[in-house]
Amino acid sequence: MSDELRTDTMGNLIALKRGSGPEPRRRVMLAGHMDEIGLIVTVLEKGFIRFTQVGGFDVRTLMGQEVVVHGRRDLPGVIGCRPPHVVSDEERSKPVPMDEMFIDVGLTQETLAQVVRVGDLITIRRPFIELQNNLVSGKAFDDRAAVVAIAICLDTLQTLHHQWDVYGVATVQEEVGLRGALTSTYGIAPDIGIAIDVGFGKQPGVPESEAIGIDKGPALAFGPNLHPVLFGEIKRVADELEIPVQVEVAPRGTGTDANAMQITREGIPTALLSVPLRNMHTPIETLCTRDLIRTGRLLAHFIATLDDTFMDKLTWTRRTKEEGEGA
């Protein structure tokens, strides 16, 4: 699917698929982050592990989860707390605070201290499961779903003619500050960038105005963080191919890799596609595989339209305005 595959200093995984145009070729960068929200060891307490979060876990979902503690060797564990019989009625009516939870790996304090250290990382242990109607559920779909969409795009491009070089990047540390996108965009110096992330899928409790439909195609974001011409061109390709897309309004920064891509170097024209996702930042994130396939296909067919004249559409100048008025 790619001509080169490498890992940069930051840990981003970068796949390059070369275009057919004459060198030096224009570059389009696709970014989807592969890091996941997780936990980190803070205290070893009488054989139990206290922890805090890395990223933005929904703390309400942590109780009773299976985990893996990544110490000097991986240790399976479970998250526990005080039994309900010894807490007050008021406490039982509220979510358990994270500072009252602990992880039990079944070791004594002495043995635990030999294997686990403060600062070791902890991940949720959760199987991938298939639901009905092409829905699947599991952990870290935010945002490894995007990495799958990029892979689908690169695979589809094998059957299409494309002039530009394509950089598919699985970025790191998005959940703690978009760091991988910052460094990889700087290193690649793309002409345009497209971030792929997830958006709030429709489910009980999510306001209709903030949700996007499951199995309705990806959402194409529109807002000041994103280039309006890129939005229009991607939407045009989707309409021509009858790939369903939704429109997501982003009146401020998007909180995705698109934020970092847009303001790297002298500025990168940027777009954002979001895969609808239920139960975001929990161990049971849920999406429709058809939305993933649509996202990958749309990216590939848009890339196939990029030619030597495309950048002229993106740069507004006084001359451009005058020529438009003259026409």
Q: Is 174 a catalytic residue?
A: yes
Cross-strand bridge partners of residue 104:
48, 78
| Rg of the chain on CA atoms, in Å | 22
Give me the catalytic one of 174, 175, 248, 285: 174
Spatial separation of the C-alpha atoms in residues 156 and 292, rounded to whole Å: 13
Phi, psi (rounded to 5 degrees) for 118: -55, 135
Q: Where are the beta strands (DSSP E) in 8-81?
A: 13-17, 27-33, 38-45, 48-54, 66-70, 74-80
- Comparing CA positions, the residue from 15, 18, 49, 48 lying closest to residue 32 is 15
The continuous run of DSSP H or E covering 197 comes out as strand 192-200
Spatial separation of the C-alpha atoms in residues 67 and 258, rounded to whole Å: 31
Structure token digits, residue 136: 């699947």
Catalytic residues, by residue number, are 174
